Amino acid sequence: MEMDKSLTTHEELTSAEIGKLWATYMGNSMATRILQFYLQHVEDPDIQHVLEYAIEISEDFLKKITYIYEKKNHPLPFGFTKDDVNMQAPRLFLDEFYLHYLKYMAKAGISLYATAVPLMTREDTRELFTYCITKTVDLMNRVNKVLQAKGFIQTPPIIPIPKRVDFVKKQQYLHGFFGHVRPPHALEATHLHDNIENNVTSKTLLIGFTQVSKDEKVRDILVRGKELTEKHISRFSELLNRSHLPSAPHLDHLVTASNEAPFSDKIMLFHKIDMFSMKIRGYGNAISLNGRRDIGASAARLLLEVSLYVEDLGNLMIEKGWLEQMPEAPDRDALAFE
């Protein structure tokens, strides 16, 4: 069915469109700065090509969002600038880490863009986020191909193909704390692995960030995040290991010994808010697809810990004057007394 795009030309941006455009702009503004530093130090040509493609699509997304903002006279977010990166600093991570990092960031992007599409009412924003999904999935596929080719891929646990279709016969299937506890089903194992993989990448980034942060408050909260992440890796790994299923290996060795900061404290704190917010989504997915009480309870408890940590990160950014405010609805009560 052919549609006249002019029908949406004069529609106002909805809260969903304003919010998703803002989040996408901020995330890609951060990503371009981080990735440009990584690109400067990469040695492996295959990994270099993937980094170049990731920067290319992030810059492309920013241009397309800027065009929509200009059409609607929407102020451009400040985001991040060249002042947030010290391109003269020595490398902080080894090449392999760049692939794991890109996979994590692609997961975050796909999650953001996929939830945006059904909420878009304008043709231009719907096309934009559909395009973002397509390009980010392509990036994910390229990253996974290089990970596999170099032997770095972290696969979810392998379980046997069932011999027949079966049905659950007892409520005991849902137990997890007492009596016989069944092994994780396929999706429980999948999301335990996914959350471990995400946390392992997040912890590696935190190790690097804690090495280079010079502000005492920033360093302390990053150290706390590293310890929290290690705790969550241990808990999710334990739930897999009880059933003799493997968990993703750590990547701590991919951090160099440099303590010269390539990134500003502002961009590092924002980055961790972004990554820990993705953990909340990941834990929520695990809870929604879970059938065992102990797994669901663990994910719910850890989700709360992450939420409280993100709030503390936000409070510190506010204290420092670094937290850019997302557009919000008007405060009618305040307006009445102006």
* Cα dihedral 80, 85, 87, 92 sign: negative
Interatomic CA distance for residues 188 and 186, integer angstroms: 6
User: Which pLDDT belongs to residue 10?
Assistant: 55
Please provide the DSSP assignment of 180-197 as one string. --PPP-HHHHHHHHHHHH
pLDDT for res 7? 46
Cα–Cα nearest to 31, from 63, 55, 50: 55
Residue type at position 8 = T
Taking residue 160's Cβ as centre, other Cβ atoms within 10 Å add up to: 5
pLDDT score, position 6: 44
Pair of tokens at residue 38: 């990584």
For 271, 327, 329, 330, the CA distances from 336, given in Å and listed in that order, are: 37, 20, 15, 11
pLDDT for 127 equals 97
Structure tokens at 244: 């003799």
State pLDDT tens for residues 91-126: 999 999 999 999 999 999 999 999 999 999 999 999
Residue-range domains of the chain with CATH: 13-149 (1.20.1260.10), 184-320 (1.20.1260.10)
Residue 23 near residue 112 (C-beta atoms within 8 A): yes
Give the contacts of 167 (CB within 8 A, at least 6 positions apart). none
User: For residue range 209-263, what is the model confidence (pLDDT) as tens digits?
Assistant: 999 999 999 999 999 999 999 999 999 999 999 999 999 999 999 999 999 999 9
Low-confidence ranges of the chain (pLDDT < 50): 1-4, 6-8
